[in-house]
Amino acid sequence: MQLTFLGAAGEVTGSSYLIDTDKLRLLVDCGMFQGGREADKKNRTAFTFDPKAIDFVLLTHAHIDHSGLLPRLGAWGFRGPIYCTTATADLLQVMLKDSAYIQEKEIEWRNKSRRHGWSSQEAAPLYTVTQAEAILKQLVPVNYDTEIIPHQTVRCRFRDAGHILGSAIIEVWVGKDSNCKKFVFSGDLGQPGHPVVRDPTPISQADILLIESTYGNRLHRNMSDTIDELVGAINDTLIQKKGNVIIPAFTVGRTQDLLFLLVNLYRQGKLADMDIYVDSPMARAATEITLKHIALLDQETSDALQWMNKHAQKPRIHFVQDIEESMQLNHIKHGIIIISASGMCDAGRIKHHLKYNLDRPQCSIVITGFQAEGTLGRRLVDGAKQVKIYGQDVRVRAAIYTIGGLSAHADQADLINWLSHFKKMPKKIYVVHGELNNASALVNAIEQKLNWQASVPEHLATVTL
């Protein structure tokens, strides 16, 4: 039995792991690499295996860095089932088609630029909307905590990871009798007490554990201080400076978190009445899907929903659908909050809003999620004075706020606490889905606090189990 780390090894994006036995080949996640000049090359060369030979895929959640190469996998010949939670299957109906649409538009722009001499080579998208629609037919929705048997030598169970709607920790038993090994894939673990979703499910046993480490080297600010910083940033910008607040946000998860949080802050009198524009083609659909799965939401969010139903016009939330309405937002110079994708500022409508607001000292950019190396969002967080957007240099004169306490990822203390529920040390612990420094810091914390052994695998490394 072999395990290969196809992505998210020493980095955050591109989550994908291959389990290979003499009876089957299965993938856990099939994520897109994001950020940096090498991302496109990695995505185009990601399949070091024959997609036709994969029996099935297990998917932890819908975020593109975990699911985004599924249409390409199908285009290259994969015809098996893709198992995921019911909420994840619903979200993918929106997310994969949106991902394909964005890629087609980005390539269209790049090819236009080539004809103006900015680029030297005709480009093609990783996959098309048609290919995204095709792979959706292979989704097999499953319920949390229900054991499934996708192959005669495999049993699986999806447990709530508390990261976004539908996110899962996946328990996988591979083999029979004394040769059976239990894998646990943490997926992305949520922060306990995080808005909207429930807390991560404790797991008690594994032979081989893969645990994420996005924030494996740090602790988040407590929620009270985080809220105070967010309220201060918004009020200072809208009331004092008379500018706009631009919030890059993942359309699934972070956008819904922010909406419920802003409504609650308005209810509490901490924010004045305001206009919130949610500018992402799939944001309304993702929010409607969230409301469809109300049983998966935490109590605070359920209470907020009841209040919103009684006060439908306060605060004013506008979902922007067409591109013309999105463009009109760039003519509004003050008094609005724009929440837009992509969350790392590397694609989609957020780039246009940054182009029109970054150069204005009255405005603020509020970063509420992780920004991978090489992304535009990361350059802003790291203090860039000037950035390039659609081939144009844009000065950074707006205030940049990094509000880490809103992260949908567990921090180091949360990760150690989740690990402490294991009754004994797993035989192998691999720390994944984190930049190398972050992953190494979590390895050290595991060794010091739990007296366990763990390691950070290398990209494309294969281990025999």
**Residue 398 sits in a domain of what CATH number?**
3.40.50.10890
From the list 140, 167, 22, the residue with the least C-alpha distance to 81 is 140
Task: Please report how the helices 283-292 and 86-115 are oriented relative to each other, as an axis angle in degrees rounded to 10.
Answer: 170
The verdict on 400 and 448 lying in the same domain is: no
Determine the Cα–Cα distance for residues 421 and 264; give it in Å rounded to an integer. Answer: 33
pLDDT tens profile 309-364: 887 767 899 999 889 999 999 999 999 999 998 888 987 899 999 999 999 999 99
Mean pLDDT score, 355-378: 93
Report CA-CA distances (Å) from 250 to 100, 116, 184, 258, 420: 16, 32, 26, 10, 30
pLDDT at residue 98 tops 90: no
pLDDT of residue 38: 87
pLDDT at residue 219 tops 70: yes
The verdict on 151 and 165 lying in the same domain is: yes
The verdict on 322 and 448 lying in the same domain is: no
Q: What is the CATH number for 431?
A: 3.60.15.10
The boundaries of the domain holding residue 460 are 2-218+408-464
Q: Residue 299 — very low, low, confident or very high, per pLDDT cuts 50/70/90? A: confident
Q: Are 209 and 430 in contact (CB under 8 A)?
A: yes
Q: What is the phi/psi pair of residue 225, to 5°?
A: -65, -35
Q: Are 160 and 201 in contact (CB under 8 A)?
A: yes
pTM comes to 0.87
pLDDT of residue 27: 98
pLDDT tens profile 159-216: 999 999 999 999 999 998 888 999 999 999 999 988 889 999 999 999 999 999 999 9
Q: Which helix (H) or strand (E) holds 172?
A: strand 168-174
pLDDT tens profile 431-451: 999 999 999 999 999 999 999
From the list 217, 221, 240, the residue with the least C-alpha distance to 229 is 221
The verdict on 107 and 121 lying in the same domain is: yes
What integer best gives the mean pLDDT of the chain? 93
Pairing of strands 208-212, 181-185: parallel
Mean pLDDT score, 16-24: 96
The verdict on 11 and 40 lying in the same domain is: yes
> Tokens 């093609």 identify what position?
124
The verdict on 54 and 180 lying in the same domain is: yes
pLDDT of residue 28: 98
Report CA-CA distances (Å) from 460 to 131, 239, 333: 26, 51, 48
Instruction: Report which of residues 316 and 31 the model is more confident about.
Output: 31
> Tokens 């918004």 identify what position?
234
For residue 148, how far is the Cα from the chain centroid?
25
Give the least confident one: 5-14, 16-25, 244-253.
244-253
The verdict on 193 and 142 lying in the same domain is: yes
User: Taking CA 149 as the corner, what is the angle to CA 86 and CA 430, rounded to the nearest 5 degrees?
Assistant: 80
Give the least confident one: 70-74, 135-139, 189-193, 430-434.
189-193
Report CA-CA distances (Å) from 18 to 5, 161, 165: 7, 21, 25
The verdict on 378 and 458 lying in the same domain is: no
> Tokens 């619903």 identify what position?
90
Report CA-CA distances (Å) from 259 to 127, 220, 262: 31, 21, 5
**Strand, coil or helix: 465:** coil
Number of domains in the chain: 2
Instruction: Report which of residues 38 and 213 the model is more confident about.
Output: 213
The verdict on 321 and 439 lying in the same domain is: no
pLDDT tens profile 220-277: 988 889 999 999 999 999 999 999 999 999 888 889 999 989 998 999 999 998 999 9
Q: Residue 103 — very low, low, confident or very high, per pLDDT cuts 50/70/90? A: confident
The verdict on 253 and 390 lying in the same domain is: yes
**Strand, coil or helix: 434:** coil
The verdict on 331 and 265 lying in the same domain is: yes
The verdict on 257 and 170 lying in the same domain is: no
List the end-to-end C-alpha distance of the chain, in Å, as a whole number: 5
